Amino acid sequence: MSRLRDRFASFRPALAGIATMFRSEPNARIHAAAAVAVGGLCLWLRVPIAGVALVVFAVALVFTAEAINTSIEALSDRVSSETDPKIARAKDAAAGAVLFAAIGAAVVGFLVLGPPLWRVIAG
């Protein structure tokens, strides 16, 4: 039983990191609001499970990129509070990764939700 408890305890740091990301990063909260809205649309439009799976994967990718970006920013700020071109480049690349993921998620959302939403709108 203690091994199972140890397994569950190993998730605490990860959950704390996720909580920190949502508390410290306004964009993470925006992504969360968008994910809830898209999830609601999937339910309302009765999107097939394959489409829902694509949306879930896209949302997970955005949150993963956001978490990595948050980590890089925190470590960079800890390493140096001064402006450093190499640190700026790392931060910009991490922010770009979030942007790529968000654009990809928007495209997935459009492809999955667009046709059923159009059918509802067109009547």
Domains of the chain, by residue range, sit at 2-122
Q: Considering only CA atoms, which of 56, 55, 61 is closest in space to residue 97?
A: 61
**Pair 65, 98: CB distance under 8 Å:** yes
Q: Which fold does the domain 2-122 belong to in CATH?
A: Helix Hairpins (1.10.287)
57 CA to centre of own chain: 10
Please determine, for residue 123, whether its predicted confidence score (pLDDT) is greater than 90.
no
Please confirm, yes or no, whether 66 is among the known catalytic residues.
yes
Question: What value does the mean pLDDT take over residues 27-50?
Answer: 97
pLDDT in tens, 60-117: 999 999 999 999 999 999 998 888 899 999 999 999 999 999 999 999 999 999 999 9
Say which amino acid occupies 101: A
pLDDT in tens, 44-72: 999 999 999 999 999 999 999 999 999 99
Spot the catalytic one: 25, 66, 73, 82.
66
**Pair 72, 40: CB distance under 8 Å:** no
Please determine, for residue 1, whether its predicted confidence score (pLDDT) is greater than 70.
no
- Tell me, what's the pLDDT at 7? 83
Say which amino acid occupies 63: F
Please give, one letter per residue, the 3-state secondary structure of 61-90: HHHHHHHHHHHHHHHHHHHCCCCCHHHHHH
Q: In terms of pTM, does the model score above 0.75?
A: yes
- Tell me, what's the pLDDT at 106? 97
21 CA to centre of own chain: 10
11 phi and psi, to 5 degrees?
A: -80, -20
